[in-house]
Amino acid sequence: MIRKPAVLTVTLNAAVDKTYRVEGFCLDRVFRVEAGRVVAGGKGINVARVLHTLGVPVVATGFLGGHNGAFILDSLQQEGIPGDFVWTQGESRVCLAIIDPVAGTQTELNEIGPVIHPEEVWALEQKLAQLLPQFAYVTLSGSAPPGVPADFHARVIRLGHKAGVKVVLDSSGDLLKHGVEAVPWMVKPNRAELAAIFGREPADVDEAAQMARQLLGKGIEVVVVTLGKQGAVWASAEGEWFASPPEVEFVSAVGSGDSMLAAMLYAVVQEMSPPDVLRWGVAAGAANAAVFGAGFCTKEQIEALVPKVVVRTKG
């Protein structure tokens, strides 16, 4: 049995992530590129990578399929991250990111993912019912491939309640809307994801904090609203805080939200105060933005930025 406190990350739509740097990238041209970075990806897998880097026991689960799925599992094993996945008939997807460091742009082409059959959905639910009691925390991150019910995350949250596990929800669209109603322990929406819940994006930090308070009213214990380069808002029974990120030499934002979530869980496991949990999360998001590849920032890089994050009380 896995010892608590440990984290289970759920990735429904894992991917082979390919990232290329192309100076002067534009349409309707042929570019010869140097070998890019090809890694196991998907939001939950990114979270697992950073948790592992920070020394938090973690297991990755979700759906995998085909040759791409085998590559993902092999990559995780090489990184030292245990995986316990349900195998699907379809092929796990490929996601392509093209970074132009000159223009400061990032273009992403993300495959939708394989069609998941009802028996595969059932198999993952059964696996999660067995795994959840072994963990202190579970993260539900990212999108779902075709065939996964819109209330899947909500079902897992209810399983988490029965198992006494704290569930962190970091998703979008209907998965997020249904999941919020099932009352996870923590939810981490961005502006666009708040719009999926409230019908509009927050106009400013104050409105983001107001929306966070409304989510607390549903019984959710912790709400962290990410605002990109502006920073993030934390709301819980202990209070409300706003954090401004430090300046870094920007490379790519891919995986910054996942790195933030992982670092916050690390800080929670270390029993830090809410302001420090937020500070660690924002520092990790910034550290990730300064490296090539999602979730490949080091603990030392994060620690160096922690003192540079400005946290102030909201209200």
pLDDT of residue 260 exceeding 60: yes
Write the CATH number for 15.
Answer: 3.40.1190.20
For residue 119, give Cα distances in angstroms to 9, 116, 252.
21, 8, 37
58 lies in some domain: yes
Name the residue among 115, 153, 139, 189 with its Cα closest to residue 10. 139
pLDDT of residue 263 exceeding 60: yes
**Model pLDDT, residue 76:** 98
The pLDDT tens digits of the residues spanning 29-44 come to 999 887 688 999 999 9
pLDDT of residue 3 exceeding 80: no
**Model pLDDT, residue 4:** 64
The pLDDT tens digits of the residues spanning 128-181 come to 999 999 999 999 999 999 999 999 999 999 999 999 999 999 999 999 999 999
125 lies in some domain: yes
**Model pLDDT, residue 35:** 66
Cβ-in-10-Å burial (0-12, 13-18, 19+) of 78 comes to exposed
For residue 122, give Cα distances in angstroms to 86, 88, 99.
10, 12, 38
Number of domains in the chain: 1
What 3 state SS string does 198-214 have? HCCCCCCHHHHHHHHHH
pLDDT of residue 247 exceeding 60: yes
Only one residue has tokens 């549903």, namely 218
26 lies in some domain: yes
300 lies in some domain: yes
Which residues span the domain enclosing 306?
7-313
2 lies in some domain: no
12 lies in some domain: yes
Q: Active site residue: 17, 74, 204, 258, which one?
A: 258
78 lies in some domain: yes
Share the mean pLDDT of the chain.
Answer: 95
1 lies in some domain: no
User: Is position 258 annotated as part of the catalytic site?
Assistant: yes
Select the more confidently predicted residue: 152 or 249: 152
The pLDDT tens digits of the residues spanning 73-103 come to 999 999 999 999 999 999 999 999 999 988 8
